[in-house]
Structure 1
Amino acid sequence: MSDQEFFHAGERVGVLTTQPLDRVLDYRAPEGGCFLGAYVEVPLGPRRVLGVIWGPGQGDFDSAKLRSVNRVLDVAPMRIEMRQFLSRAADYTLTPMSSMLRLATRAPGLSDPVSMRKILRRGASEPERMTDARARVLAALDEYGGLAFTPKELSDLAGVTPSVLKGLVKQGALREEEAPRDLPYPHLDPELPSKTLTEDQAEAANVLAQAVQNGAYGTTLLKGVTGSGKTEVYLEAVAACLRAGRQALVLLPEIALTAEFLTRVEARFGATPAEWHSGATMTERRRVWRMVGQGNAQLVIGARSSLFLPFRDLGLIIVDEEHDTSYKQEDGVLYNARDMAVLRAVMCSAQVVLASATPSLESWANAEAGKYRRLDLAARYGAAVLPEMRAIDMRVEKLPSATWISPTLRSAMSKRLERGEQSLLFLNRRGFAPVTICRACGNQVACDHCDARMVEHRFQNRLMCHQCGETKPLPTVCPSCEVEGKMAPVGPGIERLGEEAALAFPEARIAVLSSDLFGSARALKERISEIVKGEADIILGTQLVAKGHNFPLLTLVGVIDADLGLQGSDLRAAERTFQLMRQVAGRAGRAEKPGEALLQSFQPEHPVIRAILSGDEEGFWKAEAAERQAAGVPPYGRMAGIILSGSDLPAVFDLGNALARNDGPLRAIGAQVYGPAPAPIARIRGRHRVRLLVKAAKGVPLQEAISRWIAPCRLKGDLRLNVDIDPQNFF
C-alpha cells in the first residue's frame, strides 16, 4: 500500500477518527474521491469529526447504511511513515490509536478552509483616552514584540471585549490588515558562515554531517562537557540536512531556552525557524502544522509534542539535553520523547543526535553496546574552563536557625559582588516553604483533594498544591485546632531563600527564576535575557536554571541542598542527582573568568557526592550500570507501571488484587508483579491511586503479555487503568 493509493467516489474506505473508539470505521469515499492518508471530516452520530483515511474499508458493515465522508481537508495527506510511526508508538506504549491521532492533529482550525483573515497590529497613534482595558490591549501587543493577532486572539489575550478593539482601530491605535492565514516560513541558508569551530568540534560536526548526507537511519550520542559547544556542532548537522533538502527538528526541554537558541539559529541561517510549544499562539501552531506538512518549514524548534507534526521529509532530529525528565509525558499518552525520536527516525530514515553533558544511563548503555555512535567533546569552547567543585560540610558550619546560606558560601558570594561577577544559588523547591505547620497542634496544611502538603507561595500570598494546582489563602487560624497566630512555614523554598539573600546582601540586585513566578513564557525569557546582560548580581533558581542557560558573568554556583535528591527509593535517584548537580555547576565560568561550584551537603562522603566532585563521570556510569544490571532493572531489564485510580478506594484495591491474582500471561514470560500498593502520592484531585509494578527480563514481549493480562478487566464506574511502559517516576 503506497501514499498514492486512490479511492474513487463511493468506494468503501476505513477512517481512523480522533474519537475514543476501538476500531477504524467504514465510510464511502466522497465525490471526487480521496487519497490514502487524506485528512477528512466525517459524520459520527449527530457530529462531524476529524479523521484520516487509514485504508480500504473492513467490509463488516452493511454497505447500504454506510455514510459518506463529508469532505477532504485542504492539507497535505498523512504520509505512510507517519501512519507507521503512530501505529508502532501505539503498540509500544499500549495507547489507543484514536489517542495517537489526537496527538498528531493538535493544531487549531485544521478543518477551516484556507483563506484570508483579518489581523490587528499596533497602530501609529495613541488612544485619545487611555482606559485599563485599552492599556491591557496595547501592553499585550508590546509584550509579544509587535506580532499581529486575530481579533479573537487579542481580545482573549488582553481580557477585553471586541468593542474595545473596534474603538482602538477607529482611533488609529490598532491597524487592521488582511493576510493569508498561513504563510511559508522564511528560507534558511545553510551556506552562511558558521562560528569558528575547535578541532574536536569540527571533527564531530563532520561525522554528523556525513551521517545526515548518507540519508539512512542512525543515532549518535553527542556527549560534551557543559560549555563545550555542542549546539554549534549539531547546528552543522542541521546545515547538512538543509543542504540535502530535508527537514530538521530540534527538541528542547524547556520553553525558556528557546529565545537564546532562536537567536543562535538566526545568526547561523539568516532567518527564524518555526516554533512549536505551549507559548506559541493558536494561529502560529496551525501555521506550523500546515507548513511542515507542505515542506514549507525547513526547521522546527519544539517541545516533545513536535515529534508528532506531519513532516514531509524529516531527515534529522536533535534531542538537546536528552537526559531531561521533562521529555517524559506523564499524563494522557505516556511516552518518552527521546525514545519516540529514535522510533520516528527509523520510520523515515533520519539521523538522531542525543546531546547532553550528562546523558541518561539508557543512552550511555546503548552507546557502550554499540547501538549508538558516540562523539565526545572534552573541553570547553574558547578560553572557558570547567569550574572547580567543592563540598561544604554542613555538619561543621555554624548557621543561625531558619537560615540556609552557609558562612562559607556567603563569603564566596561577597567576593563575587566585590568583583562585579554573578552568583547563582540553586534550590530545587518552588515557593516559599514546602510545609506550613501549626505550632499549637502540629497539623500540616494539606490539599483537600490530594495526598500532598500545600506549598506556601508568599509572593502570591497563597498556599498551592503542586499536584492538582488547588490554591487557598495563607491561613492565620489553624484549620484543625482553630488557634490563631501559630501557623509557621517549615523548610526553605526558592522564595524564602530570596528573602535570606536580600537580608544578607541588601545592595545586591536579586533575580528569582522559578516557572511559577512568571505570567507568561515571554516574561520569563525577557528576565533571562536581562540576567545575561548583567542586570542581576545574585540569581536564585530552581531546576529551570540547570537547563542550558549561558550567563557570561556567572562565576559562582552554590547548591543549597545537594542531598535533596538522594532520599527515597527511586532507582534513578543517584543518576538524577548526579546529572542535576553537574548541570547546574556547569553554569559557572562559561566565559573568560574561571568558575567555582560549592555544594552544601550533610553527607559529603556519599558516593554520588564524591562522584560529582571528582568529575569521574565514566566511573560513575559504570558503577551505576553494574548495580542496575545486577538488579535486572532498566536499562538492563524491562519495567511497566500500572496505575489504578478511582473515587472509591476499596474498589480500586479490589481491581488491583484481581490483577495480581490473575497474572498468568506475565508469569508465562517470566515477569514478576509487585503490588498492589498505594502510590507514593496516594490521592490526586480526589481520586485514590493504587500501583502495580511489572518487572521483566530484557527482550521479552512485555507489551503483548500486558495486553492479554489487562484485557479481561471491566472498569466500572469511574475506575481508570493506565499503563506506563518504561516509567521514569514511581509516583
Structure 2
Amino acid sequence: MSLPNNRVRVVLLTQAIGPLDYRLPDDMVAGPGNVVMVPLGPRKLPGVIWDDDVFGDEAIDSSKLRAVLELVECPPVALGLRRLINWVADYYLTSHAAVLRMVLSSSAAFTATGTIIEYRRTGFEPARLTPQRAAALDALEGAQGLVRELAAEAGVSDAVIRGLIKAGAFEAVTISVDSPLPEPLADFDTPKLNDAQQLAANSMVEAVRAGGFDTFVLDGVTGSGKTETYFEAVAEAIRLGKQVLVLLPEIALTAPFLARFEARFGVEPAVWHSNLRSTQRRRVWRAVADGSAKVLVGARSALFLPFANLRLIIVDEAHETSFKQEDGVRYHARDVAVMRGHFEGFPVVLASATPALESRHMVTIGRYKGLEIPSRFGAAKMPEIKAIDLTLDAPDAQHWIAPTLLKALEERVERGEQSLLFLNRRGYAPLTLCRTCGHRFQCPNCTSWMVEHRLVRRLACHHCGHVMPPPEQCPECGESDTLVACGPGVERISDEVNRLLPNARTIVATSDTLWSPEKAAEFVSRVENKAVDIIIGTQLVTKGYHFPELTLVGVIDADLGLEGGDLRAAERTFQQIAQAAGRAGRGEKPGEVFIQTRNPNHPVIAALVAGDRDAFYDAETEQRKSAGAPPFGRFAAIIISSEDEREAIEAARAVGGAAPQVDGMHVYGPAPAPLAMLRGRHRQRLLVHAQRSVEVQNIIREWLGSLQFPRGVRVGIDVDPYSFL
C-alpha cells in the first residue's frame, strides 16, 4: 500500500496516540524518517514520518487531513533504524512512539545549532545565607550545569539556584553545543597480542573490513585481554572512517574503560549515560547523528542513537542481566544489538568470560560464531578456588567471615596485597525488626522489607526508593532500643572487617557509593594507588576491573543467589561468582578464592571449584531443554496492576478467563506477583510458556486487544522476562 504523494503517516512522540495521517504542504518536501512538527488539537507536537506499509490503511479522506506545520532541521531517522524500531515494537509488544522516544531522546534532535548557558561557582559567598543556599553552595563546589541540573544535584529548588545567581555566587558560562569531539587514532599504541588473541582479533577485523552482518561470541577467561582483542576491530572501523558503539552494563565501569581506551587510541571516546549534563547529551547526540563521533561508549539506551555510519557494535560483559530493561520498553540490549546489526548489515561482538546460555546455544547451532581465548594474558594464571563448608568451618555468632577466610585476609594485609569480599546485598542488613514484639519494617509502598543503610542512617526500599530514618522506638509496641538488624549486607561485613582487622584500610563499593563515573574513577584511583587493603562490594565490582595487586577473593554467601525459583538462578550465581573470582591474581602474583557455602556439593559450587565450566553449562542446558525453558522454549509475563487491589484482581481474572487455547502454549495464573505491591500499586501476574514455534506476540496482541480495562488498571507485557518479581 502507498499513500498519495501529499499524504504522510506520522508517528508522534506520545504513547497515548497511534500513528496519524497528515497532509504535506505543497512547498514542503519530506519523506519517511524526516522529523516534523504537526498539530494535534490545539497543540504542536513532534513526530517522524513513517513508512507507508507498516500500519494498516485507515482510508481517511485526504481533504480532512491537517497539514504538517514544519520540517525540523534534524538528521532523518534512517531506514535501518526505522526497521529496528518496527521490530522492537512488534517483538516486545510496545508502541512505536515508546521506542522512538529513545531515538529522539535529546533536545538536540529539535535544536540544530547554537550555544547554551550553564552556571558555575564564582567563589563569592553572599553575606546572608539561608540554610538551603548554604547547603547548595557546599554541594555544588566545582559543579557546572543548567539551573535545573544544579538544583537537582544540590537537592534544592530552582528558585534557590536562581537566587544565588542573582547574588553573584554563580556566573554564566556560554557552551557551544557543536564543538567537535577529538578523533581516536587507530594506531596510537598498538598492543602485542598473543596467538589466541590475534586469531580472534583477525576474525573480527576481517568482518569489519568485509562489512555485512555477523555475530561473534568472544569467550575469554577473566584476565585474558578480551578488551585489547576487540579493540583491534574497533581500530579497523576507525581506519575505514566508520562508527563503533561499545555497550557497557554499568555506569561505574565507564571510568576504567575510558582509561584503557585512551591508552590505546590517544583520546577518550564519546560517552552516553544518564549522568550526562544536558549540554553534554546535546553535543554527543549531534556528533553521533552527523558521524563525527567515531566511537561511543554507553549504557543500553545508546543502542537507539541515530548513528550516521555505524559499522560495529561491541556488547561488553554481554551476559549481564542489567542489559535487560525492566520498565518502560522491556527490551534486552544484547538481542536488540544483534538485530540492529542484522538490519543495518554490520558485525556484532558479544564479549564475556561467562557467556549467557542463550548465546552459547546460538554458537552450538551455528547462528553465531564462537571465538575463544582460553588463558590469561602474559604470566597471569587463573586463581585457585576452594569451598569453605560453613557447617564445618563456621564463623562466630553474629559474624559472617569464616576463620579460614579471616586468616587469609590477615596474611594479605601483612604482605601488602589486596583482597575483595563479595556479597551481592547492599546496605547494612536486609531486615530490621523489634526484638520485643517482632515487628518487621516493611516499605509502605511495596511488599518488601526496608533495608538498613547505616552509613547514611536510613531505612531504604530497593524497589521504589522510599527512605526513612530509623525510628528511636518501635512503631508497633513503643519500646526503645529494641530494634535489631538481621542478616548481613556489605556495610555489616565492612564493620566486621574493621573490628577484626583494625589496621586494614577498607572501602565499600556498591551502586550506593559508586553512583557516578566520577565516584567510580575515585574508587579505581584509591585501589590502584594501594590506599585500600580490602574491598567489600556487590556484583558491581565483579566485572571489568583490573587490580594487579588483588590476590584474594572471598565470597561471603554463595548460597544467596541459589535461593528461590528463578529460572536463571543457577546460571546467574555461577556467572557472578566466576566473575568475582576473576578479580584475583590478574598480575604476576597468584590468586586464591574462597567460596563460603553450606552446600559445597551443589552443582554450581562443585563446577566452580573444579574449574569445569563446560560441565555446568552442559547440565544446565539439559535441564532447560527438558523443561522447555529458554533457549528451547519461550516465556512472556503479563503484569496487571492497580492502586485498588480488588480492581487488579478482577482485571487479572478477566485476562486469565480470556486466555486462548493454543497447542504448544500454556498460561499460568493469574496469581499475586511475588512482589505483590510495587510503588503503591497492587500487582497480579500471568506467565505464558510456549514452544519456540508458537507466535506468542501475535497471540498476546489479539488476546489483550479484545479486552477493555478500567482507567486505573495498567497492563504490562514482558517478553523474555529476566526478573520474575
TM bracket (short chain): over 0.9
CA offset digits 1:130-188 (Å, max 9, x no partner): 97958955874636xxxx6456645654555235346558xxx85x5544322332122
Report if aligned partners of 1:435, 1:456 keep a CA contact under 8 Å in 2.
yes
Aligned partner letter, 2:114: S
Matches within 5 A, 1:73-472: 73-119=72-118, 126-127=123-124, 140=140, 142=142, 149-150=145-146, 153-154=149-150, 157-158=153-154, 160-165=160-165, 168=168, 178-472=174-468
Cα distance change of structure 1 residues 442 and 122 upon mapping to structure 2, 3 Å threshold: closer
Residue 688 (structure 2) aligned to one of 676, 679, 694: 694
Q: Tell me what 1:25 maps to.
A: 20
RMSD: 2.3
Find the aligned partners of 2:713 and 2:271 in 1 and give their Cα distance: 38
Find the aligned partners of 1:518 and 1:336 in 2 and give their Cα distance: 24
Aligned partner letter, 2:474: C
CA offset digits 1:4-56 (Å, max 9, x no partner): x9998xx2221110112453212222543324311112222222222001146
Stretch deviating more after TM superposition (653-662 or 465-474) = 653-662
Report if aligned partners of 1:134, 1:168 keep a CA contact under 8 Å in 2.
no
Find the aligned partners of 2:138 and 2:179 in 1 and give their Cα distance: 25
Aligned partner letter, 2:532: A
Aligned partner letter, 1:20: Q
Aligned partner letter, 1:115: G
Cα distance change of structure 1 residues 593 and 38 upon mapping to structure 2, 3 Å threshold: same
Report if aligned partners of 1:532, 1:551 keep a CA contact under 8 Å in 2.
yes
Cα distance change of structure 1 residues 422 and 269 upon mapping to structure 2, 3 Å threshold: same
CA offset digits 1:464-515 (Å, max 9, x no partner): 1111111111123222222222211111111111111110111111100111
Residue 602 (structure 1) aligned to one of 598, 602, 616: 598
SS in 1 for 2:109: coil
CA offset digits 1:500-558 (Å, max 9, x no partner): 11101111111001111356442233123211221111110011111211112111001
- After TM superposition, the runs of 4+ consecutive aligned structure 1 residues lying more than 6 A away are 5-8, 128-132
Cα distance change of structure 1 residues 652 and 195 upon mapping to structure 2, 3 Å threshold: same
SS in 2 for 1:660: helix
Q: CA deviation at 1:296?
A: 1.3
Cα distance change of structure 1 residues 149 and 23 upon mapping to structure 2, 3 Å threshold: closer
SS in 2 for 1:19: coil
Q: CA deviation at 1:698?
A: 1.3
Aligned partner letter, 1:253: P
Report if aligned partners of 2:146, 2:278 keep a CA contact under 8 Å in 1.
no
Q: Tell me what 1:713 maps to.
A: 707
Stretch deviating more after TM superposition (185-194 or 720-729) = 185-194
1:648 and 2:644 matched: yes
Q: CA deviation at 1:358?
A: 0.5
Q: Tell me what 1:502 maps to.
A: 498
Report if aligned partners of 1:116, 1:181 keep a CA contact under 8 Å in 2.
yes
Find the aligned partners of 1:485 and 1:181 in 2 and give their Cα distance: 56
Find the aligned partners of 1:511 and 1:32 in 2 and give their Cα distance: 61
Q: TM-score, normalised by structure 1?
A: 0.93
Q: CA deviation at 1:661?
A: 2.8
Residue 615 (structure 2) aligned to one of 613, 619, 641: 619
SS in 2 for 1:412: helix
Find the aligned partners of 1:183 and 1:27 in 2 and give their Cα distance: 36
Aligned partner letter, 1:697: Q
Report if aligned partners of 1:7, 1:34 keep a CA contact under 8 Å in 2.
no
Find the aligned partners of 1:653 and 1:155 in 2 and give their Cα distance: 41
Find the aligned partners of 2:324 and 2:152 in 1 and give their Cα distance: 31
SS in 2 for 1:640: strand
Aligned partner letter, 1:14: R
Q: CA deviation at 1:113?
A: 4.3
Residue 40 (structure 2) aligned to one of 41, 44, 69: 44
Find the aligned partners of 2:102 and 2:437 in 1 and give their Cα distance: 49
Find the aligned partners of 2:66 and 2:81 in 1 and give their Cα distance: 27
CA offset digits 1:404-446 (Å, max 9, x no partner): 1111111000000011001111111111110111111212111
Find the aligned partners of 2:190 and 2:592 in 1 and give their Cα distance: 31
Aligned partner letter, 2:106: A
Q: Tell me what 1:68 maps to.
A: 67
SS in 2 for 1:676: strand
Q: TM-score, normalised by structure 2?
A: 0.94
Q: CA deviation at 1:592?
A: 0.9
Report if aligned partners of 1:134, 1:164 keep a CA contact under 8 Å in 2.
no
Report if aligned partners of 2:513, 2:519 keep a CA contact under 8 Å in 1.
no
**Unaligned ranges ≥5, structure 1:** none
CA offset digits 1:293-335 (Å, max 9, x no partner): 1111111100001111001121111110011010000001111
Stretch deviating more after TM superposition (527-536 or 505-514) = 527-536
1:722 and 2:716 matched: yes
SS in 2 for 1:89: helix
1:703 and 2:697 matched: yes
Find the aligned partners of 1:288 and 1:527 in 2 and give their Cα distance: 26
Q: Percent identity?
A: 46
Cα distance change of structure 1 residues 477 and 128 upon mapping to structure 2, 3 Å threshold: closer
Find the aligned partners of 2:448 and 2:324 in 1 and give their Cα distance: 22
**Unaligned ranges ≥5, structure 2:** none
Alignment length (residue pairs) = 714
Report if aligned partners of 1:39, 1:52 keep a CA contact under 8 Å in 2.
yes
Find the aligned partners of 1:265 and 1:433 in 2 and give their Cα distance: 38
Find the aligned partners of 1:725 and 1:341 in 2 and give their Cα distance: 16
Find the aligned partners of 2:3 and 2:174 in 1 and give their Cα distance: 36
Find the aligned partners of 1:229 and 1:395 in 2 and give their Cα distance: 38
Residue 631 (structure 1) aligned to one of 627, 633, 639: 627
Find the aligned partners of 1:7 and 1:79 in 2 and give their Cα distance: 22
Find the aligned partners of 2:573 and 2:344 in 1 and give their Cα distance: 35
Aligned partner letter, 1:75: C
Find the aligned partners of 1:6 and 1:302 in 2 and give their Cα distance: 38
Report if aligned partners of 1:556, 1:595 keep a CA contact under 8 Å in 2.
yes
SS in 2 for 1:265: helix
Q: Tell me what 1:661 maps to.
A: 657
Find the aligned partners of 2:668 and 2:43 in 1 and give their Cα distance: 44
1:679 and 2:673 matched: yes
Find the aligned partners of 1:685 and 1:55 in 2 and give their Cα distance: 38
Aligned partner letter, 1:231: T
Q: CA deviation at 1:568?
A: 0.8
Q: CA deviation at 1:657?
A: 2.5
